[in-house]
Amino acid sequence: RNNHFWKKRGVPYIKPTIIFGNFLDVFLWRKSIGQKVLEIYKGTLEPYLGFFILDEPILLINDLDLIESILVKDFNQFRDRTTPKNEEFDPIGFKMSFFEKSPMWITARRRLLPLFTSSKMKSNFEQMKNSAKRMELAIRKSMETRGDIEIKEMLNKVTVDILVNSFYSIETHSFEEKGSPFIGITKILFNWKAIWHALQITYLFIAPQFKRLLRYKVLDQEVTEFFKKLTWDLLINREEENVKRGDLIDILVDIKKSQNVTDEYSREADFLSSLVIAAFVGSYETTSTTTSFALFELAKNIEAQKLIREEITKVETKSGNITYENLKELKYLERCLLEVMRLHPILPFLDRTCNEIYQLPGTELILEKGQKVYISVSGLGHNPKYYPDPSKFDPSRFENKNLKEKFKSTYLTFGIGPRACPGKRFALISMKIITANIIKNFEVKLAKNQSDTLKINPIGFLAQPMGGLFLKFSDIQQ
Ligand code: HEM
């Protein structure tokens, strides 16, 4: 066993137990990966700390300068995440930029970037507003028949409508349409009731060495087949239409032409499908869950809702309505969202693998090739040294103009550096539009039986609420 790995190197570490190292609770689904990493972070003041997952030594990086070195300055030595690649069992899922390894990762990422330019955001704006409006109508309808509303389900629908329209130019009406295929797919994508799929997605991170034995896949077969067919159908239609819509399908048409992809079942065609899926998977759960966290926190802060409402009224009185240009004037709303994401980062830990021998700056410690490092996003966000009274919802923390300087690498909800989230702006705009429209129209409170602390699902790697989030809405006009 590797038990003495950290001791031999003079690195402070947590003593592992047999077999599972320090991660027994995660293997047994008693704690999520994020919760466990947070617990380890909270138990130390060291700039870095060793621990073990099974037999594998992992280094938790806590010092802000070291974090910055790994994620930004010395990124070239830490390009990849820790998950394995298992193309044999899932040729498309592992091509998505989140799971892809360098050098292919750069290609997968670059192809998505044109989706997030200002002009693209601007052209999506009105449809995003329309989708938010349809959610408002759905809430009104539900209010007639039901007292409390489960908000995550609604946010899934509005997020799907926004992203499918923005990325693929397909108009979906998930609130009105029964049996929408996209909503059907969301139910399988992160379906933790399918135990094998749940196990694979969690163990992919914590036991990459079992990739062949456990036949790791990121995507269920049904999801892959759905998106493969969708990609090819959209491509053929777009080529026949011969129009440009400035979306992901235009990007695919260009790649298809330049690489002469004619075979729907080729590796090149799989890459095109992986882009379509990456746009969906990257945005769907992250945005919908984070917005549900936002409504949950706002439901406990009636005063914050009032301030958001006042801000909206001010902008609407001045300009008639909310536009792409004046959205940035909703500063208090933005602070609320930043604060929610500090409290509840959807990806509560970051992970990287050292791809060549590396001396941790300012220390004697040499990391070998293949060494895995973790960073606790939620630990940093809850550290009272950086965020006094860290459990308090306090949007004023983000009043400072120079936020980057103030928070440095303590605010990692979207990551930092070349591998940070490319969809940050898209996510912020969607969340602002959805939240603004709800708070403008309704006062939101926690439902009677809704606990005021979030219970996080220990399965998977994203922070997902257990058992739904129930809110009570009342019309602001009445
Ligand atoms: C609230 C919403 C979102 C949050 C909090 C979020 C957060 C993150 C985080 C923490 C990472 C990893 C960063 C790192 O390792 O340094 C990431 C990666 C990624 N996100 Fe997001 N994300 C959100 C929405 C989106 C959206 C809307 C898209 C649009 C497609 C997206 C696409 C991606 C992709 C493709 C990656 C992989 C990037 C790479 O490895 O190069 N995300 N996101």
> Given the CA of residue 418, which atom of ligand 1 is nearest to it?
41
pLDDT band at 410 (very low <50, low <70, confident <90, very high): very high
Ligand 1 atom at minimal distance to the Cα of residue 289: 1
Q: How far apart are CA 53 and CA 6, in angstroms?
A: 13
CA 135 to centroid of ligand 1, rounded, Å:
24
Query: Which has the higher per-residue pLDDT, 194 or 399?
Result: 399
**What's the CA-to-centroid distance between 366 and ligand 1, angstroms?**
30
CB of 248 shorter than 6 A to ligand 1: no
Q: How confident is the model at residue 124 (pLDDT cuts 50, 70, 90)?
A: very high
> And the tokens for 470?
């129930």
CA 13 to ligand 1 centroid distance, Å: 30
How many Cβ atoms from other residues are within 10 Å of residue 373's Cβ?
23
- In the block, residue with structure tokens 């360098």: 102
Q: Is the pLDDT of residue 427 over 90?
A: yes
Nearest atom within ligand 1 for CA of residue 278: 35
Mean pLDDT confidence for 356-366:
96
Supply the mean pLDDT for the chain: 94
Token digits for 118?
Answer: 């200002």
- The band of 198, judged by pLDDT with boundaries at 50, 70 and 90, is confident
- pLDDT, position 189: 85
273 within ligand 1 shell (Cβ under 6 A): no
Instruction: List 473's β-bridge partners, or say none.
Output: 444
Instruction: Measure 331 CA to ligand 1 centroid, in angstroms.
Output: 23
268-289 pLDDT, tens digit each: 999 999 999 999 999 999 999 9
Cβ atoms of 305 and 403 within 8 Å: the answer is: no
| Entry pTM | 0.96
If one counts every other C-beta atom within 10 angstroms of the C-beta of residue 340, the result is 24
Percent of the chain exceeding pLDDT 90 equals 87
ipTM of the complex: 0.99
Closest CA to 79 of 120, 57, 108: 108
Q: Is the CB of 447 under 6 A from ligand 1?
A: no
Ligand 1 centroid, distance to 427 Cα (angstroms) = 9
435 pLDDT higher than 80: yes
CA of residue 313 to ligand 1 center, whole Å: 32
Residue type, 310: E
Protein residue whose Cα sits closest to atom 9 of ligand 1: 414
pLDDT score at 407: 82
- Is the pLDDT at 183 greater than 70? The verdict is yes
Q: Can you tell me the mean pLDDT for 203-214?
A: 92
pLDDT at 240: 95
Q: What pLDDT is attached to residue 1?
A: 61
Given this model, what pLDDT does residue 406 score?
77
Give the integer Cα–Cα distance in Å for 397 and 406: 10
Instruction: Annotate 52-69 with b (16+ C-beta within 10 A) or e (fewer).
Output: bbbebbbbbbbbeebbbb
Q: Check pLDDT > 90 for residue 206.
A: yes
* Percentage with pLDDT > 70 across the chain: 100
Determine whether the shortest distance from the Cβ of 34 to ligand 1 is under 6 A: no
Number of residues assigned to the chain: 478
pLDDT number for residue 2: 81
Q: Which ligand 1 atom lies nearest to the CA of residue 281?
A: 30
Residue 108's pLDDT band (boundaries 50, 70, 90)? very high
Amino acid at 158: V
Output the CA 27–ligand 1 centroid distance in Å: 25
CB atoms within 10 A of CB 476: 13
Task: Give 150: exposed, middle or buried? Use CB within 10 Å, 0-12, 13-18, 19+.
Answer: middle
Give pLDDT, residue 355.
Answer: 95
Mean pLDDT over residues 152-177, rounded? 95
At 396, list the tokens. 């004023």
Mean pLDDT of 386-402: 92
With beta carbons less than 8 A apart as the criterion, state whether 100 and 123 touch: no
Give residue 9's pLDDT band: very low, low, confident or very high (50, 70, 90).
Answer: very high
User: Taking residues 187-200, what's their average pLDDT?
Assistant: 83
Phi then psi for residue 356, to 5 deg, are -155, 165
- In this structure, the residue with its CA closest to atom 1 of ligand 1 is 287
Ligand 1 pocket check for 293: Cβ under 6 Å: no
| C-beta atoms surrounding 219 within 10 Å | 23
Q: Does the pLDDT value for residue 409 go beyond 80?
A: yes
CA neighbor of 66 nearest in space, from 46, 87, 88: 46
Q: Which residues contact 214 (CB under 8 A, 6 or more apart)?
A: 199, 200, 203, 207
Q: Is 427 in the pocket of ligand 1 (CB under 6 A)?
A: yes
Query: 286 alpha carbon to ligand 1 midpoint, in Å?
Result: 8
- pLDDT at residue 478 tops 90: no
Please provide residue 196's backbone torsions phi and psi, each rounded to the nearest 5 degrees. -65, -45
Phi, psi (5° rounding) for residue 442? -135, 155
289 Cβ inside 6 Å of ligand 1 = no
Is there an atom of ligand 1 within 6 Å of 162 CB?
A: no
Residue 421 in contact with ligand 1 by CB distance below 6 A: yes
Residue 145: the pLDDT is 85
Say if ligand 1 is within 6 A of residue 67 CB.
Answer: no
C-beta of 381 in contact with ligand 1 (< 6 A)? no
With 70 as the cut, is the pLDDT of residue 453 above it?
A: yes
Task: Give the per-residue pLDDT at 191.
Answer: 74
Residue 389 zone, left/alpha/beta (φ > 0; ψ -120 to 50; rest): left
Q: What is the pLDDT of residues 55-95, one digit of tens each?
A: 999 999 999 999 999 999 999 999 999 999 998 999 999 99
